[in-house]
Amino acid sequence: MTDEAKPLPQFCSANNANALVMNLTLRQQQILNLIATELTTSEIARQLGISVPTVETHRRNLFRKAGVKSAAGLIKEAMRQGIIY
């Protein structure tokens, strides 16, 4: 029986092979910044002139890209990657 190395995710950080590098669209960057300012989903939707379900979709995609399960995890990972300060 041989030990095969697990394949790394397609986008890997050089310092942490388990963390995904977030390649964000402009809209995802906007939403991430608004999440970081503690706006609710409804407030984000109102400010950007988009629907609540659209914001929720962007949030889910951000969580997936960051490999996290919560807004706190998202902010922590974005700070670790230098996307937000």
Summarised one tens digit per residue, pLDDT across range 2-41 is 455 444 333 333 344 344 567 899 999 999 999 999 999 9
Question: Residue 58: which domain range?
Answer: 26-80
Specify if 19 maps to a domain: no
Residue 80 is predicted with a pLDDT of: 92
Summarised one tens digit per residue, pLDDT across range 51-78 is 999 999 999 999 999 999 999 999 999 9
Specify if 32 maps to a domain: yes
pTM score, whole prediction: 0.73
Residues 2, 85: Cα–Cα separation, whole Å: 44
Please, which residues bridge with residue 12 across strands?
A: 20
Nearest to 39 by CA among 80, 74, 71, 63: 71
Which residues lie below 8 Å from residue 83, measured CB to CB, with a gap of 6+?
22, 24, 29, 32
Residues 3, 76: Cα–Cα separation, whole Å: 33
Residues 11, 32: Cα–Cα separation, whole Å: 19
Which CATH number does the domain housing residue 30 bear? 1.10.10.10
